[in-house]
Amino acid sequence: MLPPALCGSIGYYALMASHRNVVIDRYCRYDKRRKLMHRYDIADVNGRLTLTVPIAKPRIGATWNDAGVSAHGGWWNIHKVALWSAYGRTPFFEYYIDELTPYLQPRDGIQPESLMDLNISFDAIIRRIAGIESNIRYELTQTEKELVDKNDCLISDYRNSNFDLLHPIEYYQVRASQQGFIPNLTMLDLIFNMGPETPLVLKKIIEKNIL
């Protein structure tokens, strides 16, 4: 069981890929301290950079499924410019960026109204490119809820994890010669730099970290 994540980290997707059945709990309780639901880290020209999707604060007692995407600051333009600046020279950026662009637009009917819709849209693209074939659901069954409440070992609950890898696998990064290798970034970093070799890197990560 995983939390929702916006363009989740490499560790997040390695853990996902290492399990056959995965529930991304879209109804977990809203907590503004949980940043991975609406933030992700890229390797910018000056090093690690966090990109944020502003959210419309939901009511008290709400779940992450209730969180809406805010248009504050025209965040989509910030993300597009940052991604082009960070990855425009990577080998596979132009192969994949067009798939992401429709979700980095003003809220005109193309942009999802909810944060979960945005997360799910990015997640589907990332899993397809990365060759992740896990069975994904977004809601627990009643039986699963009861097992989680009992801390049953049949369900591994990672909803409060940070997904940083203890043993990152180094792969090609376009600015590594100037900045050194930067670990634990968004899965987009791996995809833009390694393209079709992404599944092979994930396999090595899983093997080294025994996920």
Q: What is the pLDDT along the chain (211 residues), one digit of tens a residue?
A: 999 999 999 999 999 999 999 999 999 999 888 899 999 999 999 999 999 999 987 888 899 999 999 888 889 999 999 999 999 999 999 999 999 999 988 766 555 678 999 999 999 999 999 999 999 999 988 888 888 888 777 788 999 999 999 999 999 999 999 999 999 999 999 999 999 999 999 999 999 997 6
Closest Cα to residue 185, out of 34, 16, 41, 38?
A: 41
pTM, two decimals, is: 0.93
Burial 12-48 (b: 16+ CB within 10 A, else e): bbbbbbbeeebbbbbbbebeeebebbbebbbbbeeee
Take residue 38 and report the two structure tokens written for it: 């609406």
Contact 112, 103 (CB under 8 A): yes
